[in-house]
């Protein structure tokens, strides 16, 4: 019986099934608020994480909330200001498709450079499907960039830079208390200039409101995760 994709709220659980995380030096590209990185450090007290972020406002927030063994750098994946062969694991969590299209291949080469031989790159990307996507595409249609991210991974594998290690699909439950919560988290964000006029905002609201029930609006975001290994021992 087909039970459908795995439902997983905690992506760190998926990582822990795929890789050893204890005593690992990790780099996260496009770390945002570094929620998963902080969780990883809490569970693995001998791990270290370096988080890169291009959004200046988010980077300032990260610096204002320091944590042991967690370092923040203002930089993008296409130009990592760190020495080669420094990390055991690189994470790109919903971030590869945010790299400018002409720089995606360069970003993957940079990640390859800073990983030690035998190190891994874990990339999880939202799939361009689902009810939530039908709403967000009204103001932020990511069909092209999400496809480009997968194509960049395919090119890197075909070029022999990486070895495929694992691939899986899962769904992440997403909840919004109401439309105001959705606006705060999805529309009025610091990392993008949405430029929504009142008419478009109302179209988004009209599509969102039917999903609101007593417990808020519930969605499932389909995800595609790929684990790549840098050849070597």
pLDDT value, residue 25 = 98
DSSP letters for 152-216 = HHHHHHHTTS-EEEEEEEEEEEEEESSHHHHIIIIIS-TT------HHHHHHHHHHHGGGEETTE
Distance CA 31, CA 73 (A): 10
Could you give the domains of the chain?
6-127+141-173+222-229 (3.40.50.150)
Mean pLDDT confidence for 75-100: 98
Residue 6 binned pLDDT confidence (cut-offs 50, 70, 90): very high
Q: How far apart are CA 77 and CA 226, in angstroms?
A: 17
Q: Cα separations (Å) of 229 from 122, 163, 233?
A: 9, 5, 10
pTM for this prediction: 0.94
pLDDT surpasses 90 at 5: no
Q: Is 149 left (phi over 0), alpha (psi -120 to 50) or beta?
A: alpha
pLDDT at res. 1: 58
Pairing of strands 87-93, 216-229: unpaired
């Amino acid at each position: 019986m087909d039970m459908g994709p795995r439902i997983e709220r905690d992506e760190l659980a998926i990582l822990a099934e795929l890789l050893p995380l204890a005593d690992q030096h990790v780099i996260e590209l496009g770390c945002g608020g570094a929620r998963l990185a902080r969780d990883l450090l809490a569970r693995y007290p001998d791990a270290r994480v370096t988080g890169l972020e291009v959004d200046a406002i988010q980077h300032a927030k990260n610096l204002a909330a320091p944590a042991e063994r967690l370092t923040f750098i203002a930089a993008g994946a296409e130009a990592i200001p760190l020495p080669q062969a420094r990390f055991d694991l690189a994470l790109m969590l919903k971030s590869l498709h945010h790299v400018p299209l002409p720089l995606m291949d360069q970003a993957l080469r940079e990640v390859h450079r800073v990983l030690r031989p035998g190190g891994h790159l874990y990339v999880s990307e939202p799939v361009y499907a689902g009810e939530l996507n039908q709403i967000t595409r009204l103001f932020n249609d990511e069909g092209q960039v999400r496809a480009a991210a997968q194509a960049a991974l395919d090119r890197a594998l075909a070029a022999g830079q990486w070895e495929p290690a694992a691939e899986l699909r899962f769904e992440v439950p997403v909840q919004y208390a109401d439309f105001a919560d959705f606006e705060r988290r999805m529309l009025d964000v610091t990392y993008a200039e949405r430029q929504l006029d009142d008419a478009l905002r109302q179209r988004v609201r009209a599509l969102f409101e039917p999903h609101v029930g007593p417990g808020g609006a519930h969605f499932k975001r389909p995800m595609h995760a790929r684990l790549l290994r840098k050849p070597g021992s």
